[in-house]
């Protein structure tokens, strides 16, 4: 089966679906069309997210008379630009990882929102709205294991499988420089061992296990694209990785698959947030609400192979195995606690595991 053919079909079909059903969803949500065209500047992470032009922007423009212009920005860059231009922010809506949303709110850079601002809120899964109110999750990524199933023929079902003999010399782990992936990987191990990120005994055991694993690790990656390049060449066979990145390699090399360990995978929400002093708060909220509609969520799942933020989406049979949709498998971290512990854990990872 060709993943590329399916993606093209999904993009075309998803756009039509969004333009039909999702436009009605916008009207049902009580979002009025603008009397004259408004322009919204919105960020996304680039790469596969370029598909959002077809999935979201075009149907939203048709439904609301609001033109959407996308800028490619990762979380640190977007927040830095908002900080330097706080009185007149360059963006109306920003896509950021959850840790950056928390920092942005605490730094006075993001406007506080609540579920009452979004008519689609009642359909969303738990934990999609951070309690502090810096934004709303539009999609979920997860941290799983990326596996070359030709090199690793025994199914990978647990985080503890990294210590199997058939993994030796074939493992690539994130570097502490790649803080988001490294901390997320550590969180998955601690959760697998103790079920609670606040368990110091589980933290200590995770680090002891990783120290023992080091001789079997081929390399540590600072750039998130590196393990995908190496596994596609056959130089490594397994690496912790974001699910969306894994799916990008699966489309190129079908034997590269996502393995979601039974102990659980970390949910990585990508939140849409509104800067303080945004030019058009109402239009920004309407755009965010549009991304939460059933049709748009279905189109994003099928195109990007992400986990939806609402439980009533219909997922095609050929897509479902590649999407983490079991709520018992996906766990959320305490962002406040993670922010407190991130530097400590990454420093320890550098000392005890990498060096």
Give the whole-angstrom CA distance, residue 238 versus residue 172: 6
Which among 100, 48, 110, 46 is positioned nearest to 75, based on CA atoms? 100
Question: Is 250 in contact with 257 (CB distance < 8 Å)?
Answer: yes
- Mean pLDDT over all residues of the chain? 89
Which one, of 336, 350, 306, lies nearest residue 186 by Cα? 350
Provide the 3-class DSSP secondary structure of residue 238.
Answer: strand
Tokens of 48: 């596969």
- Lowest-confidence segment of 25-34, 98-107, 145-154, 213-222 by average pLDDT: 25-34
- The predicted pLDDT at position 125 comes to 83
Share of the chain above pLDDT 90, in %: 74
Task: Give the residue, 10 or 174, on which the prediction is more confident.
Answer: 174
Confidence band, pLDDT 50/70/90 cuts, at residue 111: very high
Domains of the chain from N-terminus onward: 3-140+269-322 (3.40.190.10), 141-267+329-354 (3.40.190.10)
Tokens at residue 305, please? 């192979």
Q: What is the pLDDT of residue 6?
A: 38
Question: DSSP assignment, residue 224?
Answer: T
pTM above 0.85, yes or no: no
Predicted pLDDT at 36: 58
State the Cα–Cα distance between residues 14 and 21, nearest whole angstrom.
Answer: 10
Strand 38-44 and strand 66-72: the pairing is parallel
Q: Is the pLDDT at 27 greater than 60, yes or no?
A: no
> Around 88, how many Cα atoms within 13 Å sit in the side-chain half-sphere?
0
Share of the chain above pLDDT 70, in %: 90
Q: Looking at per-residue confidence, does 210 or 32 come out higher?
A: 210
Say how far apart CA 76 and CA 123 lie, in whole Å.
30
- In whole angstroms, give the CA distance from residue 94 to residue 287: 11
Instruction: Tell me the average pLDDT across 332-352.
Output: 93
* pLDDT-wise least confident of 21-35, 98-112, 129-143: 21-35
pLDDT at 30: 44
Q: Over the stretch 50-74, which tens digit does the pLDDT of each residue have?
A: 999 999 999 999 999 899 999 999 8
pLDDT surpasses 80 at 303? yes
The DSSP secondary structure of 85-114, one letter per residue, reads: TTTS-S-SBEEEEHHHHHHHHHTT-B----
Instruction: Tell me the three state secondary structure of residue 265.
Output: strand
Query: Nearest 5 degrees, angle CA 146-CA 149-CA 150?
Result: 135
Whether the predicted pLDDT of 31 surpasses 60: no
Q: Locate 184 and state its tokens.
A: 């997320």
Residue (of 124, 73, 120, 71) closest to 100 by Cα position: 73
Specify the DSSP class assigned to residue 326: -
Q: pLDDT per residue over 184-207, tens digit each?
A: 999 999 999 998 899 999 999 999
pLDDT at 309 over 50: yes
Kindly provide the residue ranges of all beta strands, DSSP E only, lying in 304-348, ordered along the sequence.
330-331
Distance of alpha carbon 103 from its chain centroid, rounded? 17
Note the pLDDT of residue 217: 97
Q: Which residues contact 69 (CB under 8 A, 6 or more apart)?
A: 39, 40, 41, 42
Segment of 74-78, 110-114, 126-130, 327-331 carrying the highest mean pLDDT: 110-114
Note the pLDDT of residue 34: 44
Q: What is the pLDDT of residue 244?
A: 87
């Amino acid at each position: 089966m060709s993943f590329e053919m399916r993606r093209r079909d999904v993009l075309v079909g998803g756009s039509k679906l969004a333009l039909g059903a999702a436009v009605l969803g916008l009207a049902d949500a009580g979002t009025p069309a603008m009397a004259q065209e408004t322009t919204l500047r919105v960020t996304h992470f680039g790469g596969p997210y370029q598909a959002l032009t077809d999935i979201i922007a075009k149907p939203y423009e048709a439904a609301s008379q609001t033109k959407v212009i996308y800028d490619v920005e990762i979380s640190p860059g977007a927040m830095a630009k908002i900080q330097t231009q706080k009185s007149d922010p360059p963006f109306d809506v920003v896509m950021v990882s959850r840790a950056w949303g928390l920092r942005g709110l605490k730094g006075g850079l993001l406007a506080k929102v609540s579920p009452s601002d979004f008519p689609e809120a009642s359909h969303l899964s738990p934990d999609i709205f951070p309690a502090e109110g810096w934004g709303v999750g539009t999609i979920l990524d997860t941290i799983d294991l990326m596996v070359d199933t030709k090199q690793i023929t025994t199914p990978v079902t647990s985080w503890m499988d990294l210590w199997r003999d058939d993994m030796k010399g074939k493992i690539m782990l994130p570097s502490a420089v790649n803080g988001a992936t490294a901390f997320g990987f550590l969180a998955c191990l601690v959760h697998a061992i103790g079920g609670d990120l606040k368990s110091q005994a589980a933290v200590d055991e995770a680090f002891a296990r990783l120290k023992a694993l080091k001789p079997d690790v081929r390399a540590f990656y600072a750039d998130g694209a590196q393990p995908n390049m190496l596994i596609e060449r056959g130089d490594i066979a397994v690496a912790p990785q974001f699910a969306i990145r894994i799916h990008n390699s699966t489309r190129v090399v079908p034997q590269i698959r996502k393995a979601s360990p039974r102990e659980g995978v970390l949910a990585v929400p990508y939140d849409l947030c509104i800067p303080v002093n945004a030019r058009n708060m109402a239009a920004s909220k309407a755009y965010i609400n549009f991304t939460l509609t059933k049709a748009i969520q279905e189109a994003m799942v099928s195109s990007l192979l992400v986990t939806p933020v609402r439980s009533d989406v219909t997922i095609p049979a050929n897509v479902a195995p590649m999407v983490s949709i079991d709520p018992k498998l996906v766990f959320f971290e305490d962002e406040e606690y993670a922010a407190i512990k991130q530097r400590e854990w990454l420093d320890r990872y550098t000392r005890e595991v990498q060096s």
